[in-house]
Amino acid sequence: MRKFISGNDAVAEGVRLARPHVISAYPITPQTIAVERLSEMVEDGSLKAEYMHVESEHSAMAAAMGVSSVGARAFTATSSQGLLYMAECLPYASGARMPIVMMNANRAIATPWNIYGDQMDSMFLLNSGWIQVYVEDAQEALDMMIQAYKIAEHPQVLAPMMVNLDGFVLTHTYELVEIPEQDKVDAFLPPIQMSKQVMALDDPKSLCISAGNDFNMEFKIKQERDLQNSVSVIESVDHEFHEAFGRKYHGMMECYKTEDADVVLITTGSITGTTRIVVDQMRAEGKKVGLLKLRYLRPFPAEQLRIALRDVKHVGVLDKNISFGYEGTIFTNVNSALSSLDTVPKTTNYIGGLGGRDITKGNIEEAFEQMMSSDHHDKIQYMNVRCEQ
């Protein structure tokens, strides 16, 4: 069935199809409509789940951990300050290997207080042990809710997963979305099956244990190894999803017209769609530009990036965040990946979209033109700003 719905609606539809047992959430702009829809679905019986209206985001994640502890499927959603308030619980969940799925509506963080979209919030949690994916449109948001549980619950992964969509630009924009059929989703995503670390009344366990200096590193190394190895699961789940539903997202990242490109811009999230148009226009003018849509930031596809970009002359990284005192966070990660190439491409960091500032097609075209020109420019470039830099 095709519906004309918003990104928030699409998230709720995807979650409904994934059949979670419990949703624990606290509303926050611009995520609110997603959890309102889920609450309505529970109320009207179209989603057979328990909806817990908790008193804070910290409690939302604590409740999700309780759900996961008994082997049930948990969902929560948040944004911005709510994500930061929840932050203490995130490494608890990942260290305890709980396959919780969360939607994060990417939004600016205070101060100045701002409800619009950028990607500062989720960047804080790159080190939390959660898988992080960024989607481009409402369809991908829906589809990733279904994929996320399959990835997170895979016995070789057992890691929580955060599905990020840009606040307002995706959460509040309506578009045509294909809603998969429930029986197809059920076949793709069977009920959760966690046997080893699950607690039950007749099988009590101590979870979220402590491990001192004699064991802690071994726990962390195994966690790191499994997150690194989740790449193959992410890719195979996307492949299976394509076979079942006819839509594919190319696993860790999508290369768009990069094969013979001299200049490539790396994007995450909704700005990817705008960049596609600019690439098409500039290609029509004979300019060798390309786009690399970076979908996952954790695990980070370093090897795939090296293969895709080894013959490119200049790589731009579009960051909707600043790691204050240095540069955009994705830029740091990309440079680190490329540094082991024999010939390292030039790189430029384009920082834009903070606090919801528009990034126009003209801004993106200027970035491509700048990377194609041989004139010197500063490594950090701010897009569409009025102040001195």
Partner 1 sequence: MIEVRWHGRGGQGSFTIARLLGMAASVHGNAYAQAFPSFGPERRGAPVLGFTRIDENKITDRSEVDACDYVVVLDETLWGDNVLNGLKPNGIVLINTETPEKYKIDNVNIIALDATSLALEYLGRPITNTAMMGALVAAGDFIQLESCNNAIRESMKENIANKNIALMAKAYEMIKEGK
Instruction: Classify residue 335 by its DSSP letter.
Output: H
37 by DSSP, 3-state: which?
helix
Measured from the CB of residue 176, what is the shortest distance to partner 1 in angstroms?
4
What is the footprint of partner 1 within residues 67-106 (CB under 8 A)? none
Phi/psi of residue 320, nearest 5 degrees: -100, 45
Is residue 149 at the binding interface for partner 1, with CB under 8 A as the rule? Answer: no
Q: Cβ closer to partner 1: 144 or 165?
A: 165
DSSP letters spanning 38-73: HHHHHHHTSS-SEEEE-SSHHHHHHHHHHHHHTT--
**CB under 8 Å to 229, separation ≥6 — which residues?**
156, 157
Query: Which stretch, 11-19, 154-162, 174-182, 326-334, contacts partner 1 (CB under 8 A)?
Result: 174-182
* CB of 160 or CB of 180, closer to partner 1: 180
The answer to whether 65 touches 92, Cβ cutoff 8 Å, is yes
Closer to partner 1 by CB, 101 or 271: give it: 271
Site mask for partner 1 (CB under 8 A), range 252-291, x = bound = ------------------xxxxx-xx--------------
Distance CA 362, CA 352 (A): 13
Is 175 a binding residue for partner 1 by CB under 8 A? The answer is: yes
Do residues 65 and 202 make contact, with C-beta atoms less than 8 angstroms apart? Answer: no
Mark the segment that binds partner 1 (CB under 8 A) among 75-83, 170-178, 297-305, 332-340: 170-178
Closest CA to 52 of 41, 44, 64: 64
Q: Could you say whether residue 176 binds partner 1 (CB under 8 A)?
A: yes
Give the separation between CA 388 and CA 374, rounded to whole angstroms.
24
Residues 110-139: x/- map of binding to partner 1 (CB under 8 A)?
-----xx-------------------xx--
Inter-residue contact 234 to 254 (CB < 8 Å): no
Nearer to partner 1, 92 or 174 (CB): 174
Q: Is 245 in the site for partner 1 (CB under 8 A)?
A: no
The binding site for partner 1 (CB under 8 A) comprises 2-4, 29, 115-116, 136-137, 166, 168-170, 172-176, 270-274, 276-277, 356, 358-361
